[in-house]
Amino acid sequence: MRAYGTRLAARLRPGDLVVLSGPLGAGKTTLVQGIAEGLKVRGPITSPTFVIARVHPSLRQGPPLVHVDAYRLGGDLEVDDLDLDASLEESVTVVEWGEGLVEGLSEDRLEIHIDRETGDDARVVTLRGVGARWSGDSG
């Protein structure tokens, strides 16, 4: 998942919203660690479950990474309280557990669902690009 995230980071740019879903232990945070590595941002990258959101500034001239864990959020009002739209345009924003909560932040987003294969370390990753930015990026 980390290597996949590093490769994915090469395609991400400021203003991108990435929404991650999948069961516990599927590899969402590991994917974000790879994205962070590819974007060359300050770490460490850990699950922001209790702080909800962390901003990781770029170590070069790239965009910062906003890493959000929406697992404990109760709905749209709590998402609004995070004020994610204030930094959306200049950052790459990745939201774990964001399905059904953050889609209103942007008409363009990349939705990634990660599943574990039974009894295996293999993962099944499904991408769904939404909006003009991601047209042609699904599968």
C-alpha span between 79 and 63 (Å, rounded): 22
Domain of residue 117, residue span = 1-130
- In terms of Cα–Cα distance, which of 31, 21, 16, 27 is closest to 62? 16
One digit per residue, the tens of pLDDT, for the chain of length 139 reads 999 999 999 999 999 999 999 998 899 999 999 999 999 999 888 876 666 788 899 999 899 999 988 877 766 656 666 667 767 789 999 999 888 888 888 899 999 999 987 767 789 999 999 999 998 654 4
CATH number, domain with residue 62? 3.40.50.300
Any domain includes 136: no
pTM for this structure?
0.88
Question: What is the tally of structural domains in the chain?
Answer: 1
Q: Is residue 138 part of a domain?
A: no
Is 99 part of any domain?
yes
